[in-house]
Chain A
Amino acid sequence: MPARTSLSPVTTGWLMLSPALCVYLLFAVYPMFDVLVMSFSSWNGLTADSAFAGWDNYRWVTTQDPVFWTALWNTIAWTLLALIVPNLLAFALALSLNQRLPGVAPLQVIFYLPVIIASIAVATIWKWMYDPFFGLLNATLTGAGLSGWILDWLGDRQVALWSVFAAHVWQSVGFAMVLFLAGLQSVSPTLIEAARIDGAGRWGVFRHVTLHALRPSIVVVVALSLINSLKAFDIVYGMTGGGPAQSTQMLAMWAYSQAMQLGNFGRGAAISVILLGITLVIVIPYLRWMLKTEEPAR
């Protein structure tokens, strides 16, 4: 060991690690435990004292709060659809952009552009697209002679959630597309050519070479879209605020509304804990998979 440095390597290590670790533990990990404690107490957010409430908050949320069940159902339906619709579209786009076609680069830029726009701005953009009187969507329908299809897209309880979802698709397709494209670029052309020579058709090459090479990308995209769906907040907040009549309410936003708008921190925390639980069910297997692929090479 060289002696010229004054600090031992381990001390230096802790010094370099601790700023990031402290801020992470204080403002990300601690609130996660705090929300658990909070969910068993009643606190209005203003007074200093909070009383122990046992399971009261959970009982209230699950038995007396009809919005909770709407929000849970919406979150589940949204998550399942967000897993399928944008990702299949992204997959198709990535496969197409990976062919020898002219203008592939600018097309890629266009599809990715919505990803970098603030979700709250996406919400406002689409709210305007859906404007019942002057919005682009209804103008298009009128122009196409389909005035009968015109709806109050964000004001109708039957369709509002899916109108918001369409905006989400527009925003999220580019992200998955880029991840798929990166995976596709790792498929070796020689392998494809070899499969061709061996007599594999378009479908055979796709199934045995391309899809196989894409397996890690697919896992990543699936996991990320699950996690992203559970935290859907900005876009719902900006487009409908949970309305009309709480029909587009989602768990993350309902937890926020209960705590920060209605002052029921205990009930809000109980909703957060339930959502956190659902998140962990998805995160933990993914975490194990990631750690397995990330084994340090040494």
Chain B
Amino acid sequence: MSLFEQAFRPVGSTRRDPVLVALWISLIVVAVLWIMPFVFIVFTSLKTTSEVMRSSAFAAPTAPAWSNYAFAWQTGDFGTTAFNSALISIIKVPLGLFLSAMAAYALTRIEMPLRRALFVLVVFGTMIPFQVMLAPIFRQVNLFGLINTYPGIILPYLAFGVPYQVFILYGFFNAVPRELSEAARIDGAGHFTIFRRIFLPISLPVLSALLILDFVATWNEFAMALVILQDMDMWTLPLGMMGFSSQFSNDYGELNAAIVMTVLPAAIVYLMFQRYFIAGLTTGAVKE
């Protein structure tokens, strides 16, 4: 109630501001534009091909054709691709986070030679896009004989995920009061114990934010998987959807059902954990 009474009034003013009302209306218009593609995709995914051709693009489906989903799931082999995506994410995301956290601890809390240089090397890695050098990554993975294998995709994912996470955790660990770890050191605890008993528990909020961000990034990744996972049995969800869309580009309903199935898991994770997304993005990028 009181919130609504404050609406449309600028800070420190009690008058309703017409500029703010106009602003709000334009926001709603943009939001409608933004949400249209989703509505269109979901509508089409529930129409038969003949209904797509007959009805208006804006019309809701008359009798939802759920069979589109069943067809896409089976023909597109979504069982296999979803399994591959899930397996790769479940191994890569926690493992990468653990490695990054250990590295960030070592860089912030242990007096090591070259510490500064190593940190610069890591920050540099946060900005080098792997899309620029897909072929040499392919060659490196091939050298280890890991093309078309789970480790073959997980290792480069780790390599390109580690820098950003180390960078964020480095900032976070640096803000932890020195006294905390020094007291434990005096009590005789080793660095690894301090890391596990003190640093991991207190950084749970940051770790969960990074976990969710990284899960979505890994789940969505396409270019690297395209180069390394060439065998259809190893395809991840994005590759499977791309394959399906080039094969069934005229089966509009089924194609859109495939899109919905690919997009839905990430969308659900986002809607459930939105707060962590914002936190994960902004701790790293914008400092006070």
A19's nearest neighbour on chain B, judged by CB, is: B99
Q: Shortest beta-carbon distance, A188 to chain B, in Å?
A: 11
A24 and B162 contacting across the interface, CB-CB below 8 Å: yes
B125 and A28 contacting across the interface, CB-CB below 8 Å: yes
Q: Shortest beta-carbon distance, A107 to chain B, in Å?
A: 5
- Tell me if B105 counts as interface (CB < 8 A to partner A): yes
B20, B40, B129: most-surrounded residue (chain A CB, <10 A): B129
State which of B118, B127, B237, B282 has its C-beta within 8 Å of the C-beta of A17.
B118
B261's nearest neighbour on chain A, judged by CB, is: A121
Evaluate whether A294 and B27 lie within 8 angstroms (CB atoms) in the complex, with A9-B110, A23-B162 already known: no
B134 and A259 contacting across the interface, CB-CB below 8 Å: yes
Q: Shortest beta-carbon distance, A192 to chain B, in Å?
A: 6
A109, A121, A230, A260: most-surrounded residue (chain B CB, <10 A): A121
Q: Which residues of chain B from 121 to 158 have a CB within 8 Å of any chain A CB?
A: 121-125, 127-141, 155-156, 158
Q: Which residues of A contact B188 (CB under 8 A)?
A: 2, 4-5
- Tell me if A269 counts as interface (CB < 8 A to partner B): yes
B136 and A192 contacting across the interface, CB-CB below 8 Å: no
Complex: how many Å from CA A186 to CA B227? 42
A19 and B286 contacting across the interface, CB-CB below 8 Å: no
Interface bin, chain B? 35 or more
- Tell me if A154 counts as interface (CB < 8 A to partner B): no
B57 and A93 contacting across the interface, CB-CB below 8 Å: no
B44, B112, B133: most-surrounded residue (chain A CB, <10 A): B133
B30's nearest neighbour on chain A, judged by CB, is: A93
- Tell me if A150 counts as interface (CB < 8 A to partner B): no
Q: Which residues of B contact A140 (CB under 8 A)?
A: 57
A10, A24, A298: most-surrounded residue (chain B CB, <10 A): A24
A269 and B135 contacting across the interface, CB-CB below 8 Å: yes
B31 and A110 contacting across the interface, CB-CB below 8 Å: yes
A35 and B135 contacting across the interface, CB-CB below 8 Å: yes
Q: Which residues of B contact A124 (CB under 8 A)?
A: 241-242, 245, 255, 259
B274 and A16 contacting across the interface, CB-CB below 8 Å: no
B263 and A121 contacting across the interface, CB-CB below 8 Å: yes
Q: Which residues of chain B from 198 to 246 have a CB within 8 Å of any chain A CB?
A: 216, 219-223, 226-227, 237-238, 241-242, 245
Chain B residues in the interface with A (C-beta under 8 A)? 3-4, 6-12, 19-20, 23-24, 26-28, 30-31, 34-38, 40-41, 44, 52-53, 56-58, 99-100, 102-103, 105-108, 110-113, 118, 120-125, 127-141, 155-156, 158-160, 162-163, 166, 171, 174-175, 178, 185-192, 195, 216, 219-223, 226-227, 237-238, 241-242, 245, 252, 255-256, 259, 262-263, 266-267, 269-271, 274, 277-278, 281-282, 285-288
New A-B pairs, 13, CB < 8 Å, besides A29-B125, A96-B27, A111-B30: A2-B185, A5-B190, A12-B110, A13-B110, A23-B155, A23-B158, A26-B159, A107-B28, A114-B34, A231-B130, A238-B222, A252-B134, A272-B135
